[in-house]
Chain A
Amino acid sequence: MFDYDPVLYSRYLTELTLAFHIIFATIGVGVPVMIALAEWTGIRRNDRYYSLLARRWARGFVITVAIGVVTGTAIGLQLSLLWPSFMEIAGQAIALPLFMETFAFFVEAIFLGIYLYTWDRFKPKKHLMLLIPVAIGASASAFFITTVNAFMNTPQGFTLENGVITNVDPLAAMFNPSTPTKVSHVLASAYMTSAFILAAIAAFSLLRGKGDRLYAKKALKLTMTAGLVFALATAAIGDLSGKFLAEYQPEKLAAAEWHFETQEKAPLLFGGILTEDNEVKYAIKIPYALSILAGGTPGYEVKGLDQIDDELEPPLYVHYFFDGMVAIGSFTILAALVYLWMSRRKRAAKPLPRWLLRTIVACGPLSMLGIWLGWFYAEVGRQPWILRGYMKVADAATTSMHVDKMLLLFCLLYLILAFTAVKVLSKLFRNNDVADELIAFGVLEKRGPLK
C-alpha cells in the first residue's frame, strides 16, 4: 500500500502512542485535583457523600494510572528508538527537565501508593494531605515534559556549529518563550477535561436513574463548577497562546487561520473549506478578530503565509484542528453556564431536563477530543521541523527497516488495552452500587434510601 518510509512510519507510531497516552495522561493530571477537591469538600462540610465520591473516583483512577504509566514508558523509550538523532541533541540540551520529570513521577507514584492503602489508617485531614504530593507530582511531571515540547517549538539555550552543540544553558532551554503559555494551557485543559469527564459520569447515572440521586447531583455540581472555572482559564490562556504564536511561530498561526497575505485589521475565519487553488469557501468571517487575537489591537499586522518559504509551510488542514478545539472549548463553557443557571433557578424542585444531562454527558468525550485536536494542531503545525529552525523531522528519524511492523504491534497492543480497560472499569462501577456503599459508609439507613 505505502512504500516503506521510516520517517512516515515513525511519525505514525509516535502519533499513535501519544494519542493513546494523552487520554490517560490528561486524566492522570486532572483527576487527583478533583479527588482532592471532593475530599476537601467532604471534610469542610462534614458531608460523607463527598468522601465517598473521592473514594470511588480514586478506585477508577488507579486503573487509568496503570495504563498511563505503561504508555508513558512506551513513549519515553520510543523517543530514542524512533528519533535517535533528535534524542542525542535533547540529551545535550534538555536532559534536565526530562530527568526532573522522573523525580516528579517518583513522588507521585510513592504517594499514590500510600494514599490508596491508608483510607482508615490516617485521620481524614492527614489522608487528604497525602494527595497534595500526588497532585503536585502529576502536575509537575506535566510541567517538565511540556517544557521539553516547548523547547522543540522555540529552541534556545545552545548554539549549533557544524552539528556540534555548544554553550548549553539548561535553564534557558527549559524556560524558552513557549514554556509559559504551553504549560499553563496544558495544565488548565487537563483539569478542565477531567472535571467534565467526571461530570459526564454523574450526568449519565442521573439519566439512567439508577444509583443514589443525591450522590450524583452533588457530584455533578462539584464537577461542573470546577469544569467551568478551568474551561474559562483554558480559554484565557488560549488567547495568550495566540499572541505568543503571532510573535514566535507566525507560520503556525497563519496556517491555522488560512491567513495567506500579511495584513493589518486581519479577519478571523471560522470553519469553511479550502479549494485546490487555496480559496476559502463557506467560512464565517469575523472582522478584525485575528488581529485582536494575535496582537490585542485591530490594527495589529499579522504575518501571512506569503512570508514563509513554501517548503517550511505547515500543512493547511491544521485549520480544522484549531477550529474544532476552539469550538469545543466554547461549547463546554456554554454548557456549564446553562447547567449552573438551570440548577440555581429550579433549585431542589424539578429534576434537570434530560437534554441538558445528555449535553453534559457529551461534554466529557468532547473535551478529550478537544485535547487531541489541540495537540494535533500544535504538533502538525510545526511541520516540517522537529526542532524549529534547527532540525527537520526527516533528519531525526531512525533508519531501521522495521518501523512498519512495530506500528502494527503497538496498534494491536493499544486496541487490547483499550478494550480491557473499558471492560474492567465498567465492571468495577457496576459491581459497586452507590447505595450499598453509602449504607456501608453509615450515611444511609438500610432500606428505603433517600431520594
Chain B
Amino acid sequence: MSIELLGITVLWIFLFGYLIVASIDFGAGFFSYYSVITGNKNITHRIIERYLSPVWEVTNVFLIFFYIGLVGFFPETARYYGTALLVPGSIALILLAFRGSYYAFSTYGSKDNKWYMLIYGATGLLIPAALSTVLAISEGGIILENAGTITLDWSALFGSVYTWSVVLLAIVSVLYISAMFLSYYAHKARDEAAFEIVRGYALFWSIPTILASVLAFFAISKHNPEHFANMLDLSWMFVLSFLFFLIAVYSVWKKRNLGLAFVAVILQFGFAFFGYGASHLPYILYPYISIHENFTNQTMGAALVTAFIAGLLILVPSLVLLMRLFLFDASYVQGKSDKKG
C-alpha cells in the first residue's frame, strides 16, 4: 500500500469512527429532548445520559483528528476547502460550539433547563446536515477555480439534488444509528420501558434510512457519473451493506441479539461508507485534489505515519479502558454503581 493510500485510509477510518460515535451522540441528544417534551423523560433520559456523559468529549476529538490529519497529509486541501468553505464551515462551527457547551451546561449545570436541552437537541440534527454538505462539495462542480481564485458556487450547492439527498440521508441515519445503539444499551441495562421506546424509534427510522440511501445513489449517478461508475464496480460492498441492514432490523424486531444487531449496523454503514470512499479515490476534491498529486512531502508523510502508530499505542488501550468501564460494565450500565462526584 502506498503511503498516500495509507494516509487517506487512516483518515477515512477516523471519519467513520466519528460518524458512528457522533451519530449516537447527536441522535441521543435529540431523543433526550424529545423525551422531555413528550413526558417520557424519566424513562429514557437517564439511560441516555449514563452512556453519553463520559464520552462526549472523545466524540469531538474524532472530528478534529480527521481535520488535522487531512491538512497534514494533504496540505492543499487547506487552500481549496479553507477558502471556499468559510461560510458553511463557520456555521457548522457555531452549531458545534452551541451543542458542546449546552450539553455540558445541561448535564453538569442546570439539569432541568428545557432551553439548554432544546439547543443541544436541535443542533444535534443541524450539525450532521451541515457537515454532510462537504460530501456533496467533494464531488465537484461546487468549488470553482478561476485564474487562481477559489469560490463556492452557492446555487450549485443548493440547486443540486445530490446535496439534499446527502443531507436527508445524514439526518435519518443519525436517528437510526442512535436508536439502534440505545436499544442495545437499554436492553443491556434491562430497562424494559426505555427499551420499548427506543426500539420503536429504531424500527421507525430504519425505513427512511434505506429510502434515503437509494435516493443518494440515484442522485450521485446524475451529479458525478464517473464516481457512480466506480461505485458500480464495488457494488458487492453496497449489497453487503444492505444485507447487514436486514440482519440489524430483523434482530431488533425479534428483540434478540441486540449486541449483534448493533455490530450489523456498524457493518452496514461501514461497507457503504468505505465503498463510497474507495470509489471516490483518487480524488479528495474532484477534480482538483487527488491523493497522489497533492500528498505532503515524503519526510512529513513518514513522520505523520510514525506519530500515528505511536499515538495508537496509547489511544487503543485508553479507549478499551473507557469502554470497559462504561459500555461493558454491567453494574455501571444498569446504574448500580456510582455516578459522578
Contact = CB atoms under 8 A, between A and B. Distances in A.
Given A59-B108, A92-B75, A117 B68 contact: no
Contact of A76 (B68, B308, B326): B68
B61 A105 contact: yes
A264 to B, nearest CB: 43
B200 to A, nearest CB: 29
Interface stretch (B77-85, B174-182, B276-284): B77-85
28 contacts: A59-B341, A63-B105, A63-B109, A66-B103, A76-B64, A85-B79, A88-B76, A91-B296, A92-B297, A92-B300, A95-B68, A95-B75, A96-B300, A96-B304, A98-B72, A102-B68, A103-B315, A107-B314, A110-B58, A114-B325, A117-B325, A117-B338, A118-B338, A166-B297, A168-B297, A398-B82, A400-B86, A428-B108
A147 to B, nearest CB: 13
A102 B87 contact: no
Interface in B287-341: 296-297, 299-300, 303-304, 307-308, 311, 314-315, 318-319, 321-322, 325-326, 337-341
B110 A91 contact: no
B109 A428 contact: yes
Contacts of B308: 99
Contact of A91 (B54, B72, B83): B72
A421 interface: yes
A100 B305 CA distance: 11
Interface in B67-102: 67-69, 71-76, 78-83, 85-87, 89-91, 93-94, 96-102
A394 interface: no
Interface residues on A, range: 35 or more
Interface in A36-87: 55, 58-59, 62-63, 65-67, 69-74, 76-78, 80-85, 87
Interface string B97-133: 1111111110011100000100000000000000000
Contacts of B338: 117-121
A59 to B, nearest CB: 7
Given A406-B87, A417-B97, 12 more contacts: A63-B104, A65-B104, A80-B71, A87-B82, A92-B300, A95-B71, A96-B304, A99-B307, A100-B311, A106-B61, A113-B326, A120-B337
Given A77-B89, A81-B86, A121 B337 contact: yes
B60 A69 contact: yes
- Sorted nearest first, the 9 A-B pairs with minimum C-beta distance are A91-B75, A95-B72, A66-B104, A424-B109, A119-B341, A84-B82, A80-B82, A87-B78, A113-B54
A100 B72 CA distance: 11
B53 interface: yes
A23 to B, nearest CB: 13
Contacts of B326: 113-114, 117
A373 B325 CA distance: 43
Q: What secondary structure prevails in chain A residues at the interface with B?
A: helix
Interface string A101-144: 11101110111111011111100000000000100000000000
Contacts of A398: 82-83, 86
Interface in B161-195: none
Given A87-B82, A99-B307, A114 B108 contact: no
Contacts of A80: 67, 71, 78, 81-82, 89
B307 A62 contact: no
Contacts of A190: none
Contacts of A70: 60, 96-97, 99-101
Given A116-B341, A399-B83, A424-B109, A106 B315 contact: yes
B196 interface: no
A317 to B, nearest CB: 29
B63 interface: yes
Nearest to A420: B105
Given A113-B54, A417-B97, A73 B303 contact: no
Interface of A: 55, 58-59, 62-63, 65-67, 69-74, 76-78, 80-85, 87-93, 95-96, 98-103, 105-107, 109-114, 116-121, 133, 165-166, 168-171, 398-400, 402-403, 405-406, 409-410, 413, 417, 420-421, 424-425, 427-428
Contacts of A98: 68, 71-72
A102 B304 contact: no
Nearest to A64: B104
Contacts of A93: 300
A127 to B, nearest CB: 9
B97 A71 contact: yes
B311 A410 contact: no
A102 B79 contact: no
Given A73-B60, A91-B78, A103 B314 contact: yes
Q: Which of B83, B93, B105, B321 has the most CB of A within 10 A?
A: B93
A109 B75 contact: no
Nearest to A71: B97
B318 A110 contact: yes
A129 to B, nearest CB: 12
A73 B63 contact: yes
B149 interface: yes
Nearest to A102: B65
Contacts of B99: 70
A215 to B, nearest CB: 16
Nearest to A165: B297
Contact of A409 (B94, B96, B325): B94
A170 B303 contact: yes
A87 B75 contact: yes
Contacts of A87: 71, 75, 78-79, 82
B43 interface: no
B57 A112 contact: yes
A111 B318 contact: yes
Contact of A102 (B64, B150, B319): B64
